[in-house]
Amino acid sequence: MNVIAALQQRKSIRAFLNKDVEQDKINAILTAARHAPSGTNTQPWQVAVVTDDAKKNLQAEIESKFRRGDKAEPDYHYYPEKWLEPYKSRRVACGLQMYSTLSVEREDKQRRLDLWAANYRAFDAPVMLLFFMDGCMQTGSYMDYGMFLQSLMLAAVEQGLASCPQASLADYPALIKTTLNYPQDSILLCGLSLGYEDKSALVNSYRTPREEVSTFTRYFK
């Protein structure tokens, strides 16, 4: 598979088969992603691969905090505090696309709550990846991490695996760091669900649109 084909095939998957992911495939995508660029070769990534009982126990604790109504306290602000256009409309359209695909009405608060809670179980994928970096690192390392994550997801496509990057898995960093024995002053950036796509699942049937190149590109000569 070439890079362009992998870019076009990759999508965020929210339903997975009940099938374990071979450890050699996990190692293969991490081995590929480690070649991602980083400023002055700092390579800030620190990856926790959480599976089996460790995953079941951790996701149960995270989901419990969410369902109790505990406030999310991520290590950094992922989204803007005030939404402006065109980002506000794109965000709303993204949510509506999923809810309409699943026929979830606005008034069905419980179903919406349950759908969001699935985030904290990594959508029941067999593998939850969590991404940390040292607290001394700055904005440039977030950029480096983005390139690492994209590299990892593209390598997953080549291995026949599906994934979904999730900022929500960084909502309760103190709990996760304590459970996995990471320093509290480290930064939990996000998580990623990984497994084999359930192609029969309705939630995986839609694709979010992308803007045309002409809308975000200016050429200067």
pLDDT, one tens digit per residue, over 42-72 is 999 999 999 999 999 999 999 999 999 999 9
pLDDT over 70, % of the chain:
100
Name which of 30, 62, 27 is nearest 46 in CA terms: 30
Residue 190 has pLDDT above 80, yes or no: yes
Q: What predicted TM-score, i.e. pTM, was given to this entire model? A: 0.96
User: How many domains are there within the chain?
Assistant: 1
Residue 106 is predicted with a pLDDT of 87
pLDDT, one tens digit per residue, over 155-189 is 999 999 999 999 999 999 999 999 999 999 999 99
Domain assignment present for 103? yes
- The domain of 27 spans 3-12+23-41+60-120+138-216
Domain assignment present for 106? yes
pLDDT, one tens digit per residue, over 97-116 is 999 999 999 899 999 999 99
User: Domain with 81 in it: what CATH number?
Assistant: 3.40.109.10
Go through 71-95 and write b for each residue having 16 or more CB atoms within 10 A of its CB, e for each that does not.
Answer: eeebbeeeeeeeeeeeeeeeeeeee
Residue 1 has pLDDT above 90, yes or no: no
Residue 29 has pLDDT above 80, yes or no: yes
* Lookup: tokens for 214: 């002409």
Domain assignment present for 148? yes
Domain assignment present for 130? no
Residue 14 has pLDDT above 90, yes or no: yes
Domain assignment present for 51? no
> Average of pLDDT values for 148-152?
98
Domain assignment present for 128? no
Instruction: Report CA-CA distances (Å) from 72 to 2, 33, 54, 161.
Output: 39, 29, 22, 29
CB atoms closer than 10 angstroms to residue 52: 10
Domain assignment present for 46? no
**Mean pLDDT for the chain?**
97
